[in-house]
Amino acid sequence: MKIGELARRTGLRASRIRFYEASGLIEARRLGNGYRDYPEQVVRSLEIITCGQQAGFSLEEMRKLTSAASGAGAARHELLLASLKRKVAEIEAMQLRLAQNREQLLAVIAGIESKPQGMDCDENAQRLIAGWQDGDADKAPR
């Protein structure tokens, strides 16, 4: 199938499809007139790549997974399972960092909102920064 039809069927732009081809994620054969001819299984490959990227896999990770797909069934299964488990662990670590970032931002908001009366914004900022640097719970916002 030509790139226009592949783009229509997958919802991807032709430029994105060419990018994936240049990245080695999919292959097309060239016809005598120079047009790309994509086999039917590329539709499924592009769906997998798109889903993988939405799940947080990098193109390099997708390249490894798709190249392993041509291997033996058990080896492919183990590689896929290990990759998925590794991605879940990365997501969990990211969730922890995001939760910590959220708490820090909420603490900043609380510190700004509870600015002592008569203290200007710059002084309050210095108070908050000093509390973080000293680890002083009384100065740091909660």
1-45 pLDDT, tens per residue?
Answer: 999 999 999 999 999 999 999 998 999 999 999 899 999 999 999
Domain count, the chain: 1
H/E run at residue 9: helix 3-10
pLDDT tens digit sequence for 90-109: 999 999 999 999 998 898 88
State the CATH number of the domain containing residue 11. 1.10.1660.10
Q: Is residue 98 part of a domain?
A: no
42 lies in some domain: yes
pTM beyond cutoff 0.75:
no
Dmax (CA) of the chain: 80
> For the chain, give me the number of helices (H) and strands (E)?
6, 2
